[in-house]
Structure 1
Amino acid sequence: MNLKIIKMKTHILTAAFAFSLTAAFAQQPAKNKYQQYLPIIEKGTLVQKDSLANALMGELKTYKSEEDYRTTINVLRSLGKEDLQVSAETLAKKKYPKGSLTRDAFITDVYYNASTPVQKEKAYNELLKKWPVKNFSEEPLTYDYVLANLAQSFANDGNAQKAVHYLGEMKERFWRGNGYIPVGQILLSAGDTTTAAPLLKTAMDDSYYYLTLPEDQKDNKARFAAMGYASSMSAYVNILVAQKKYAEALNYIENALKAAPEQADGLAMVYYKSLMGTGRKLEAYNILTKLYAKGQFAVENDLKKLYTELNGSIQGYENFNASLKTELTQNIRNHIKEMATFKPAPNFELLNLKGEKVSLASLKGKVVVLDFWATWCQPCVRSFPGMKAAQESYANDKDVQFLFMNTWERDKNYKENVVSFITKNNYPFEVLYDDQKDPQTGEVMAAKFGVKGIPAKFIIDKEGNIRYFLTGSTPNVDYIKLEMKELIEAAKKPYKG
């Protein structure tokens, strides 16, 4: 078969595919359409993705609601068709100038680009005038995000009164702690405990309300709110501890542990302080022992002091300390077994911050630690001090290479943002931009590695095989350092199956 015939058949198939997509899904409700297209978004070929994008662009003029446009825009974004996405957004905004897409663009382009609290307040008032809350009764959270940000801006500017005012305008109880807690912490750091305490208590009470709902009443909103209980509880109870109201603090904490025992780790330090304040030193010692055994070595001075006090001398402490570290190491080894895998790592050749090409093939003979991250990803950023410590511990090991794969960035000027972030935080990382799309699939490297969420870390052995895959993060520097050591040293050894 000659090339001309092959090309002709390809065009016919592509056109037929596009037509079938339009016919099959044109009548689907907007909320179902994205799910219908998900197989192509996740596993389709570049031809299929192009065909889907063209089919969707062809049906734009038939849409009867803004929700249809929004769904298509989300699909185009997921397909990586940024130019088509912008075209669809332009059409939608023209058709619905008072709609949510135009509103959201105003929030992004005008409100968030305002540099001072006064400018942000002016933009917020303009937002309310052009897009009143009553016209979007099903989307109060959109306005709550803005209110929380506005309140934080005034708090950072030293205007507690305005900060509290705008927090009071928030509508969604399940989410408002995300505004109250940061503002409360800002005010605390400024020494304004009087204003901060009621805010943090409100956030704590909200979380407790959702946490203690009957199981059949716990929807996704309730579960989200309940997750913040440990942080809001710690923030408020720390105030009580600072005021030496230890008994009151203990009452809150122990009620919390009954209602949510799974949040014990998040409450451990404030629990320890409260126990010490009430003279319950043995219980406080047990808390410190558990924290230390989980890798929080910053408590060692307190642990050593309590050990000496409770035992009457320091004798035996070193053996006790060693046993805790041995226990931690064994727990980590047991844990990383759950992360074990064995498959060839996809090869890549990406640019670093200096514009130099770095390939996986060039690193054969080394254990490679890949860390997929983004500047907007707080769990990613939260783990970086620990990753820095881990990398520094291997600074003299030429057989180990850390690579930080910057992926899924949302801003057009992401390269400048990444350089600024790395420089500002003084991270000695080798950062690669994961922005090269495969010509066949349109995928970036994160997709080829099977990444569904970030942070995602891969440990690749000297032969180029993925030996371990882990997701999630912790701010515990010592734990990350120990975990990385166990993963890297295990990957150095031959695979035994």
Structure 2
Amino acid sequence: MKDMKTTLIFALALSATVSYGQQKPADRYQQYLPIITEGSAAQKDSLATALVGEAKSYKTEAEYRSTLNILRNLEQDAKVQDLEKIAVKKFPKGAITRDAFIQNTFYKAETTAAKEKAYNELLKKWPVKNFPDEGLTYDYAIATLAQSFAKDGNAAKATQYLETMQERFWRGNGYLPVATTLLAQGDTTNATPLLKVAMDDAYYFISLPEEQKDNKARFAAMGYASSMSAYVDILVNRGQYAQAVEQIEKALVVAPQQADALSTVYYKSLIGLDRKLEAYNILTRLYAKGQFGVEDQLKKLYADLNGSMTGYERFNANLKEELKQSIRTHIKEMETFKPAPAFELLNLKGEKVSLASLKGKVVVLDFWATWCQPCIRSFPGMQAAQASYAADPDVEFLFINTWERDKDYKTKVPAFIEKNNYPFEVLYDDQKDPQSGQNMAAQYGVKGIPAKFIIDKEGNIRYFLTGSSPNVDYIKMEMHELIESAKKPHKG
């Protein structure tokens, strides 16, 4: 019976395979999306086998690229490698061969000199003009090379390479990290013009009429607050408060949703201009959202504006109570109630940790990866939350390392944790369920990281949240409300 079922699955997958010439790559991917996201291990294997069989008739590199993309999403690494070898041999000057070179030679080069040599070889063998619609592939490499020069303290070479980037909507992603690296080295002279380019590019896209804002424009606009904050911070440190306020207020006209991200540099600029009441209002709003690090400045402005500290404690208590009520309202949107999928994963020491062994405890799961910046930005807050429950034997924090891109992740992950001195229990999400072929993240329905789950003492998921805040105090308070709520019996 089992063999007949497997044969049927294979037949269905094979019959679903339509000639590439009849479909665009995106259409093919959408056709197989249900199997990619929800299919069993048998269905995925069957589809992969069918696609590889179809590949024998391919005439163009585009056909190979489309199928390789699907195979990667099916996590069929062995079949990807086998098909890639055929394509590389068939199209030595094509994009597949180029991408393999970038991945295996350029990105793995350990020194800046080696990276530059590999990049020059890339341009020689696969000139940009031969791939007019794939400038972003080269921009990724340029950004990596420029960052390597920046880390070496060579701002001139870093800038030289950045200026060759082609895609304006993505350019800020190369300029901003380089500028940040130079700022960390104290080089504001070279960092400032790079920040301005990133800021001006983002402003251009964010101020486009709504009907002209495509996905590229929206992506570019996302970097506005970061580049603006860093640029304006330089102006503030130079005492150029009027110029700083001018830039911020210009930003708030076209991007009012960036108000929170720009609040810190805004209130500093206003204080510099002696606009204390406006600065006080911004600080009050920040404090009410859990940014307690501004309290010293808030106290000073409170005393300046009121003539004394009379009434401050009540004022402070009211702000914290408002925040607590806001968090409680917010977490209601994250409520759910369903059994948590069982798991048994290895920690950094090679020891098995299972959900079953933690029954009777509230378990906090945090799905993360070393490349995920929002994940990393939330770690100080998660560390503070974990520390606040250090004496509570009924609460367990587990940090599930998933979706790592490098094969040597078992070297990089422990090094990252040790370097940052995080006292986390980290588990590797690299064990696939034999029935579904899915890893733990897929079983839990994770679509993006960071993703956090709060599991109650009976093994039920009570809360699920994605995204995060870099605000330590807010995360600590939010986790407290989530955990304490999960300790209580579910009301149904």
The aligned runs of 1:140-155 (5 Å cut-off) are 140-155=135-150
Q: Distance in 2 between matches of 1:424 and 1:181?
A: 24
Identity of aligned residues (%): 71
Q: C-alpha displacement at 1:455, in angstroms?
A: 1.0
Structure 2 residue aligned with 1:159: 154
Matched residue type, 1:253: I
Matching of residue 240 in structure 1 with residue 248 in structure 2: no
In the superposition, the TM-score normalised over structure 1's length comes to: 0.96
Q: C-alpha displacement at 1:188, in angstroms?
A: 2.6
Q: C-alpha displacement at 1:21, in angstroms?
A: 2.5
Matched residue type, 2:187: D
Q: Distance in 1 between matches of 2:423 and 2:184?
A: 29
Residues 80 and 442 in structure 1, CA contact (< 8 A), matched pair in contact too: no
Q: Distance in 2 between matches of 1:122 and 1:12?
A: 50
Q: C-alpha displacement at 1:22, in angstroms?
A: 2.8
CA 1:18–1:287: 2 relative to 1, 3 Å: closer
3-state DSSP class of the match of 2:396? strand
Structure 2 residue aligned with 1:3: none
Structure 2 residue aligned with 1:94: 89
Structure 2 residue aligned with 1:430: 425
3-state DSSP class of the match of 1:355? coil
Q: Distance in 1 between matches of 2:449 and 2:385?
A: 19
Q: Distance in 1 between matches of 2:364 and 2:276?
A: 42
Residues 372 and 405 in structure 1, CA contact (< 8 A), matched pair in contact too: yes
Q: C-alpha displacement at 1:185, in angstroms?
A: 2.3
470, 475, 493: which one aligns with 2:470: 475
Q: Distance in 2 between matches of 1:88 and 1:212?
A: 45
Q: Distance in 2 between matches of 1:268 and 1:306?
A: 16
Query: In the TM superposition, what whole-angstrom CA distance separates every residue of 1:244-265 from its partner, at most 9, and x where no partner exists?
Result: 1111111111111111110001
Query: In the TM superposition, what whole-angstrom CA distance separates every residue of 1:135-163 from its partner, at most 9, and x where no partner exists?
Result: 11101111111111211221221222111
Q: Distance in 1 between matches of 2:153 and 2:416?
A: 26
Q: Distance in 2 between matches of 1:69 and 1:389?
A: 48
105, 108, 117: which one aligns with 1:113: 108
Matching of residue 37 in structure 1 with residue 24 in structure 2: no
Structure 2 residue aligned with 1:130: 125
334, 340, 349: which one aligns with 1:339: 334
483, 492, 495: which one aligns with 2:490: 495
Q: C-alpha displacement at 1:7, in angstroms?
A: 4.9
Structure 2 residue aligned with 1:293: 288
Structure 2 residue aligned with 1:444: 439
3-state DSSP class of the match of 1:343? strand
Q: C-alpha displacement at 1:277, in angstroms?
A: 0.7
Q: Distance in 2 between matches of 1:272 and 1:12?
A: 67
3-state DSSP class of the match of 1:435? coil
Query: In the TM superposition, what whole-angstrom CA distance separates every residue of 1:346-373 from its partner, at most 9, and x where no partner exists?
Result: 1111111111111111111110001111
Q: C-alpha displacement at 1:26, in angstroms?
A: 7.4
Task: Tell which deviates more after alignment, 152-161 or 446-455.
Answer: 152-161
Q: C-alpha displacement at 1:487, in angstroms?
A: 0.1
Matched residue type, 2:135: P
Structure 2 residue aligned with 1:311: 306
Q: Distance in 2 between matches of 1:7 and 1:246?
A: 73
Residues 14 and 47 in structure 2, CA contact (< 8 A), matched pair in contact too: no
Structure 1 residue aligned with 2:325: 330
Residues 6 and 42 in structure 2, CA contact (< 8 A), matched pair in contact too: no
- In the alignment, structure 1 segments of 5+ residues that lack a partner are 1-5
Query: In the TM superposition, what whole-angstrom CA distance separates every residue of 1:377-418 from its partner, at most 9, and x where no partner exists?
Result: 111111111111111110000000111111122222222221
Structure 2 residue aligned with 1:185: 180
CA 1:14–1:469: 2 relative to 1, 3 Å: closer
Matching of residue 219 in structure 1 with residue 214 in structure 2: yes
Structure 2 residue aligned with 1:53: 48
Matched residue type, 1:126: E
Q: Distance in 1 between matches of 2:113 and 2:160?
A: 14
Q: Distance in 1 between matches of 2:412 and 2:490?
A: 39
CA 1:279–1:7: 2 relative to 1, 3 Å: closer
3-state DSSP class of the match of 1:347? coil
Q: Distance in 1 between matches of 2:321 and 2:114?
A: 56
Residues 10 and 50 in structure 2, CA contact (< 8 A), matched pair in contact too: no
- May I ask how many residue pairs the two structures share in their alignment? 492
Q: Distance in 1 between matches of 2:476 and 2:329?
A: 16
3-state DSSP class of the match of 1:405? strand
Query: In the TM superposition, what whole-angstrom CA distance separates every residue of 1:308-352 from its partner, at most 9, and x where no partner exists?
Result: 111111121111111111111111000000000111111111111
Task: Tell which deviates more after alignment, 15-24 or 463-472.
Answer: 15-24
Q: Distance in 1 between matches of 2:244 and 2:4?
A: 74
Task: Tell which deviates more after alignment, 17-26 or 465-474.
Answer: 17-26
Q: Distance in 1 between matches of 2:140 and 2:18?
A: 38
